[in-house]
Structure 1
């Protein structure tokens, strides 16, 4: 497909890579696409750096330009214009200016202005995000909320924890269970928890699942335990990290990694394949002991397993 002008995708999250792959799938030439990455921060694109390296190689093969450590500075050289035709970024050296016909921003997720106005007009407590308690209630007892737009009240002293750290399906199930008695009067009323338990955050145990198709037609899947995301190097420095079982490589499209914790329980699964993945089957492996996987560790150490996909 012929296309005039640059398409700028700004961000270093996995959403940026998905967008680039979607644009390429429309038949648009890769030379029209500019992937601009801001300086690295707490957001992690991929679980492993070897996967990111393989995807970056696929971008180069598709003639997609990649610019790293760039921070958006201004539009149109600071001039007022009805359309954005020029984007300027600060870099480690000279400023980078790119003409653009389309701009996709995945740098930082923020609250939509219309959503904020609606929350504010409803007189709901907003502290950077919509404030809720451990049972999904806002300050208005008739309004409940869940999801990445919410945060727990400061009285829990857990500002780093929010629903984005957990499995969204599990959170939705818990919210539905709490609200079900409102719609079905035949059910027993939910008893109010003791006051001491109301000061504790709920515990969610379901695994987090991230899957997509990346440039290079790679099928990516990462299954991990719920919690605050930390970089892989920091995780490996901990004595309770455990071990990894890896077969294949990202370049050949058959990469499979299983991370076992110190108790030999499956704590995370990472796949990068050129073939579609049976996601539901792999989710079932999460939390299982390696003995239940036909003594996975001993067979791998003996060289009996060369491909975890088989």
Structure 2
């Protein structure tokens, strides 16, 4: 036996743990992929049902067994759905409210998150804990007090209740996400900027925000999705039909006699396209932002 080489039996014994780890890794990856596939199917089936229903005549929507491929395919359902009500007006209203709300959420959440992540002041941690505690408070609890407040301000039947609060502190969830992202950036950046005479807002605006694009994109996507799909609050504060957003317009396909399912699904598919397009364009930033926000506490 040559010197410096272990016996064959020892080499086989040493290789066993490596093979076991490889088997465990393969099994783990397989389970993860199967779970991801199951989750994808669970989310994809309702979406495919929406598309299928949007192309069917009304009498074939709930037939059994289900028919996934429409026969005949009625493309006119989309034309009728978009013309039976002022869909273009509702679309513009939703764009107006959503874009301004997203801008407000990004700006206000970034400022508050910067204060919690980079500035030192008495009671900072206590205030942050209180902020996180508000995430456990259902929004419906504050709905009536907010309505009374906005009624006293004469803001009912305007877009102010939908937009202005987003500029006044943002969402606790978005503040938490951006705070976690700012904590991953080295403090040496702030110190170097202070030596050059930069103040806190200049550090935030010129140094940290350009580096926080993934986190800001994550906030923008979440905010766009939530504001675009918001139904209850616009239903409460908006009275005029001309001021309705898309979710309120979609509710118009329902009445006391039933639901116009094929037209409702056609309009819903068109309404979901902006969210889908934005997610696919910025999905790289979105995934990076979600992964980075959990890197440091």
TM-score under structure 2 normalisation? Answer: 0.23
Task: Tell me which of the two structures has the higher relative contact order, counting C-alpha pairs closer than 8 angstroms and 6 or more residues apart.
Answer: 2
Higher share in strand? 1
Higher share in helix? 2
Q: Which structure has the larger Rg over C-alpha atoms?
A: 2
TM-score under structure 1 normalisation? Answer: 0.22
